[in-house]
Amino acid sequence: MHDYSEQLERDKKVAEPIAKRFAVSYSLDVDDLVSESLLALFKARSNVTYSDTIAYQSTVVRNALINYVHKQQRQVPTVSTSQPITDDGLTIGDTLADSSIDTEFSFGLQQRLARLSPKERRVINLRLKGTPIRQVADELHIGTAFICRTLKTFAATN
């Protein structure tokens, strides 16, 4: 019988340093990258040519993360102030209570939101509605650190 927890720990030792480098280089969430890496290693084990060497595992992780980065970069969502951003039909326009906001600001907001992943847009939406960070984390099954990074990134983008 296999001890999967030991295997998972060994895989993490290979995956985490590579995922951290990709996270810094591409401004992506390190937890998402580690998950992608571990999934790739798990899938690779079903391959007949799988090798348990560090070099092979590192190659599997790097290739999986390169594919993940390319997939993320291809996803360029478009955002409209009238497009629903939540399951209950709330729009960006609904969250902007002041109708006197000038067009330039509104356009800038749309561009900033378009750069975010769907998960990041959901975080921004919940925080705009006044939902506490801990509740957002529980609802979306994410860490508070991810929420804080998303808010900082959103606030800092021009």
Q: Where are the domains of the chain?
A: 4-74, 92-156
Please name the residues in contact with 21: beta carbons below 8 A apart, sequence gap of 6 or more: none
Quote the pLDDT of residue 102. 52
Share of the chain above pLDDT 70, in %: 77
pLDDT digits over 91-142, tens only?
766 666 545 445 555 566 777 777 888 888 888 888 888 888 889 888 888 9
Which carries the bigger pLDDT value, residue 152 or residue 39? Answer: 39
- d(CA 115, CA 69) in angstroms, rounded, equals 14
Distance separating alpha carbons of residues 100 and 146, to the nearest angstrom: 32
The CATH number that domain 92-156 falls under is: 1.10.10
pLDDT of 18 above 90: yes
Asked if the domains 4-74 and 92-156 are classified in one and the same CATH topology, the answer is no
Question: Which residue did the predictor score with more confidence, 75 or 110?
Answer: 110
Q: What is the pLDDT of residue 51?
A: 77
Q: Which two three-digit tokens encode residue 118?
A: 């769907």
Q: How far apart are CA 150 and CA 136, in angstroms?
A: 12
Give the mean pLDDT of the chain: 80
Residue 115 token pair = 């750069």
Backbone angles phi, psi at 143, to 5 degrees: -85, 155
Indicate the fold that domain 4-74 takes in CATH. Rna Polymerase Sigma Factor; Chain: A (1.10.1740)
- The per-residue pLDDT for 75 is 61
Higher pLDDT, 77 or 26: 26
Q: What is the pLDDT of residue 1?
A: 44
Task: Look up the pTM and report it.
Answer: 0.47
Backbone angles phi, psi at 84, to 5 degrees: -60, 135
